[in-house]
Amino acid sequence: MKTILLLVLSNIFMTIAWYGHLKNTNVPLWKAIIVSWGIAFFEYCLMVPANRWGFTNGFNGFQLKMTQEVITLVVFTVFAVVYLKEPFHWKYLVSFAFLLGAVYFMFKK
């Protein structure tokens, strides 16, 4: 559970670092890069321990990556709808269902 929580928190920072500047395109790109790197530092401070703890507590590398990708999409979806005010289409749900299928097979013994 600690791994999942840290992955969620790290993905919140990552999403803000990578996409938060999109509503402020009047800010020079070099400034957006510097601010994004500063935010991404905190993402790394959470992601590295999440992966280390997950790996030493039963996840393999493939499972960690697939879990991280699903969390990334969930966090990004909320961010895109709430912050970027982008519409959510039914085709995204279908895509997510396929990804959840991938997660199912990744963890199937």
| Helix, coil or strand: residue 24 | coil
Q: Is 86 left (phi over 0), alpha (psi -120 to 50) or beta?
A: beta
Q: How far apart are CA 102 and CA 109, in angstroms?
A: 13
pTM to 2 decimal places: 0.85
Angle value at C-alpha 56, between 55 and 57, nearest 5 degrees: 90
pLDDT-based confidence at 88, cuts 50/70/90? Answer: very high
Query: Which tens digits make up the pLDDT trace of 17-76?
Result: 999 999 999 999 999 999 999 999 999 999 999 999 999 999 999 889 988 988 999 999
Q: How far apart are CA 34 and CA 49, in angstroms?
A: 24
pLDDT attached to residue 17: 95
